[in-house]
Amino acid sequence: MEEALSSKFYITSPIYYVNDIPHIGHAYTTIIVDSLARFHRLKGDFVFFLTGTDEHGQKIEQSAQKKGQNPKDYVDCIAERFKSLWNEFEINYDYFIRTTDSTHQQSVQNAFLKMFQKGDIYKGEYEGNYCISCESFFSKSQLVNEKNCPDCGKETTLLKEESYFFKLGAYADKLLKFYDENPNFILPKSKRNEVINFVKAGLEDLSITRTSFHWGIKLPKELLENDKNNQKHVMYVWLDALINYLSALGFHNDLPNKMDFWPANYHIVGKDILRFHAVYWPAFLMSLELPLPRHIAAHGWWTKDGSKMSKSVGNVVNPKEVVEAYGLDAFRYFVLREVPFGQDGDFSQNALIERINADLSNDLGNLLNRLLGMSAKYFNNTLEADLSQLQANYNEELAQIQIILNSLESQMEEVQINRYLEELWKLFSLGNGIIAKKEPWQLIKNGKRTEVAQLLLLLANILLKAALFLSPCMPRSAEKILKVFGLSVSTEYFRRFILQGELLDSVVLKPIPVLFPRIEERLLQDPKTESETKSKDSKSAKLDPLEVANPISKDDFTKIDIRIGTIISAEILPKSEKLLKLQVDLGEARPRQILAGIKAYYTPEELLGKQVCVLANLKPAKLMGELSEGMILAAKDSNGLAFITPQNKRKDGSQIS
């Protein structure tokens, strides 16, 4: 790994909407950003890490009214919860922005005025369907069942009001050209086509003000002076929110000017707001004649024990409770390692415990414990060896270590932190493997103390280097490991032991308590699970073992027409988070078009040529303006979703009986 010059690095989380307490999704996003920021600080970069809260909009105004509060008091309380949790989680942010900050409002009004004076903003009248929950407008063709939001499924409201519009459609060609010239702009790359297809489908000009509520940023004073009717307008929440990435840097406001950090290296967002960041935001920046961010990286959602999280169901994961029970670093490790970036993840205590016991206790903790135990027993914690001999005897292992270390930075830069950790864990497997192969206890019996000293010093160097790379993801644990060697997490040690490849030739080890004790049982009680279990037990007790619930007759079964078909075409359905559009050959005059909510589990490419089971006599239905002519059968459990397929290839149209 070559030594690099320090540079400025700007990374942001989304600003979180203050309509509820922080949940696991908020924590996941922020931990990703914190890990990337820590990695770049470790390398010696000048880092600016921004997070904060989004506090305007109709939904906030309504929530405050329901609680009998004015909106400012309401948002003050919830914003403080986010700030407090990030402090408890030791999130090392540089600035916490709130959209109610006066400096942010200055920036938004200045940006609006600049775009207006350029001719990119004009006044008109808007009529369309508005989703209060998503703070988004949708055309009728985008709606589900002609009234429901395609993103959250809730019923929209038909609005007609005076509005200012941003000429989004005028930037479609420029956006497509930018995506083409910057293939790594959207991460993971699998999300890129989704955005491109959305733009190619046609961009309507964007309504950017509202007059039906008051909780928002007013128009610039220059527009208020020219037209008193403008007093009733407030900024559309997404224009307001996105400008935060500039206002935190002092863009046309009273904050210290840090615009030399722009453009942002990464905006880390959830997949539900990718469109706003990858389409609207670049268009706004083009209008302001500012450089575009280098990367927009969108992650997936979290479920709980295989089910969607919902307050009404009572299965929302509170990250604070998990951390209090299992520890901060264990939680950080789990969410970063458990799911590939961009895909949905499932939280369960069983999976968390398995990660702690298998990865943290068995692999990492065991290697450190064995090093400390043998060093104390054989050498009174003092290790020393001739480096030239160590390098000669472990030339192959040192080469393997270097290959692993060299692979890590690219994984972090692509925001594939799960793969970063997978690669890093190969070092611990390598160390444990060396112990199993060399059996140092036998070498000691045979009087080969020099060989054992070399082996233990090699393990010390593995753990030292691994701890430096572990520190962005598990800062507390990395500090404890490095303390064993009398070191700490610092750019200086990263430069010496990673960039320059230095090896310790002697060290006095300082024993520490066991890092990751094994966990034998769940530490958090889930009352919902208990009541559900009792309910299931009582139901099952009433049923004879051979009886079934909701039985159907043979006549009912004969009405079902399930056939084998081959998927001959698959593509992402623009503007949908879940659906893929498939063409399935059932041996009929033409293929069937079937929409399937499987985008989180399959890519279009891996479906081509796959045989599936299709419910062929299901009444056709329209989804997102597209006809769906059947249903593909699938099974879902804690491991995800998979199509039901024939064991051997069958003729298309074969009936299942």
Bind-site residues for Zn(2+): 131, 134, 149, 152
Question: In sequence order, what DSSP letters do the residues of 229-257 get, joined into one string?
Answer: GGGG-EE-HHHHHHTHHHHTTTTTSSS--
Instruction: For CA atoms 603, 606, 610, 612, give the dihedral sign.
Output: negative
Binding residue positions: 131, 134, 149, 152
DSSP 8-state secondary structure symbol assigned to residue 179: H
Q: How far is CA 308 from the centre of its chain?
A: 16
* Angle between helix 366-379 and helix 475-484 axes, rounded to 10 deg: 10
DSSP 8-state secondary structure symbol assigned to residue 272: G
Residues 6+ away with beta carbon under 8 Å from 580: 570, 571, 572, 573, 595, 596, 598, 599, 602, 604, 607
Please tell me the distance from the alpha carbon of residue 657 to that of residue 643, in angstroms, as a whole number.
Answer: 18
DSSP 8-state secondary structure symbol assigned to residue 563: E
Q: How far is CA 416 from the centre of its chain?
A: 10
Please tell me the distance from the alpha carbon of residue 528 to that of residue 531, in angstroms, as a whole number.
Answer: 5
* Angle between helix 395-413 and helix 417-438 axes, rounded to 10 deg: 170
Exposure class string for 357-377: b at 16+ Cβ within 10 A, else e: bebbbebbbbbbbbbbebbee
CA dihedral 251, 254, 256, 259 (to 10 degrees): 10
Residues 6+ away with beta carbon under 8 Å from 26: 16, 82, 319
